[in-house]
Structure 1
């Protein structure tokens, strides 16, 4: 105890000299000394094998490891005189791209794999009330949801909500289809899939929502659904996905946006994913259904389960849905 007090007194006197003042607020001095006394000093970043995120944050100026997230922020900036960006964007206002826009997500698939959706469940409250009541629901009873609830969530998250005609240079018009969420450039690079675990009227499996036809396309069986659930990394006492009725997966197609906007387009993909998740939470709240954002999944496992390569097509985010137990 004597040695510790002696060391703290010496640090206290030294701090007064370094600050160049005769009187130092005692509370600040003691706090500074305490923090300094117990601070772990690094032997050098290069000598540390296990580097936690906190360790990286405390050693940002070391230059000893990559900072890829910040590199993305720099790469996705738009400068005032970026002619390449401007020309790339303008290309999408020509007739060929106008035609392409009109054909976005115009599905062709085997009819036997398609399921019709029932009418949507009716919301029980106004949007303003849903905003006030929205909460993350991590635990579920294991009871099934009705397919009508899932239909409402899909339509209000990724469904077609309107249409407009765009004129070409020759005077002809192309029909554009608008959706429930905003999308950078109207490119809609985020696809909605649903992993059905316990839904009345829907077999256990994986389904893709086809917005142009307002139908489900079966893309995986019960084994595929089980593989996706196995990619969840959260302990069961924090979340119980097995008791959920299903898991919505937001699948990104970055180059659909990046072909027009370059690295900036990836920001738009993430914006859209967030907007879709928020729509889902508010609609679920209005229906009395529980939801929870979930991004703590093992990426390689989730991508493999849904046949994504992780780059041109990848799992961006998940939202659990079920009957809340809280």
Structure 2
């Protein structure tokens, strides 16, 4: 460092931005990495080229599709036989024991053009505290992952097989993402935890050790309220992924498709919420193990992958 630079760098509170950036560029962030348990994401990335494993990078490498991959091609082709077609046609039906089922009301028409909705969409971190109407919830769920059409194919003996199609695209139509709700304040729907059943356009109450408000508080405890006042939320929309629903056909690349599907559904939630004047905000900073326990997911074959906050 030159004498002039040294004088400028010690100027105290008036330290120029350029000099601060110059000094900062020489800071050694890895000098004591071996003697501390604190490793920021930046430090983990910087050390990835060394001895530390990098699972995220390994996933990207292992999920690549290469020309001539016969194992991949055979796996995909197997999904066109009768057994696989029948299995896929049933995706979305109730998969676990649950309590009472509640039919959702008719969704509201969206009163806004797509270009206007896109321009207005914003993450709402300041919620009004107003309850979310049940018709609004039905609209959001229908736009997020509801059944919008049915395709028909034939099995080998000519028997027709109906394939329900949803609002969000899904790799191979396998729909590995399921939606669940922690209802806090929606008139007409008791507080508690629910599964969304797209084929029935209904909610099914989840039977857990905790019930009602206690179950909802368990979910809220897994969502640190640092940047959204979750106490004003009407409901929490939780996405779970069943990876093998997609990976049995597409291998590790199937997880890429599942993550993409999560984004498609979340964007549909935002657009529908904006169109009908409700609030929505993504909430990725949840505590995975706690949220899995609250909804009864095993964390492996089914695990929480995303969450959203909804308000009136």
Q: TM-score, normalised by structure 1?
A: 0.85
- Aligned partners of 2:112 and 2:237: how far apart in 1? 23
SS, match of residue 206 in structure 2: strand
Check 1:100–1:42 CA distance in 2 against 1; reply closer, same or farther (3 A cut).
closer
Bigger Rg, which one: 1
Per-residue deviation, residues 180-201 of structure 1 (Å, max 9, x unmatched) = 1100000011111111111011
- Aligned partners of 2:231 and 2:5: how far apart in 1? 55
1:46 touches 1:64 (CA, 8 Å); kept in 2?
A: no
Match of 1:20 in 2: none
Matched, 1:224 2:224: no
Match of 2:43 in 1: 55
- Aligned partners of 1:126 and 1:199: how far apart in 2? 27
Check 1:322–1:8 CA distance in 2 against 1; reply closer, same or farther (3 A cut).
same
Matched, 1:249 2:238: yes
Matched, 1:212 2:199: yes
Matched, 1:281 2:279: no
Q: Root-mean-square deviation (CA), in Å?
A: 2.4
Deviation at 1:34, TM superposition (A): 4.0
- Aligned partners of 2:21 and 2:141: how far apart in 1? 54
Match of 2:185 in 1: 198
Q: 2:147 aligns with which of 144, 160, 171?
A: 160
Matched, 1:308 2:297: yes
Per-residue deviation, residues 190-219 of structure 1 (Å, max 9, x unmatched) = 111111111011111111111111111011
Gaps of 5+ in 2: 8-17
- Aligned partners of 1:299 and 1:112: how far apart in 2? 24
2:29 touches 2:43 (CA, 8 Å); kept in 1?
A: no
- Aligned partners of 1:30 and 1:305: how far apart in 2? 50
99-108 vs 80-89, greater mean Cα deviation: 99-108
SS, match of residue 216 in structure 2: helix
Q: 2:224 aligns with which of 218, 222, 233?
A: 233
Gaps of 5+ in 1: 10-28
150-159 vs 96-105, greater mean Cα deviation: 96-105
Q: 1:270 aligns with which of 236, 259, 263?
A: 259
Deviation at 1:120, TM superposition (A): 1.6
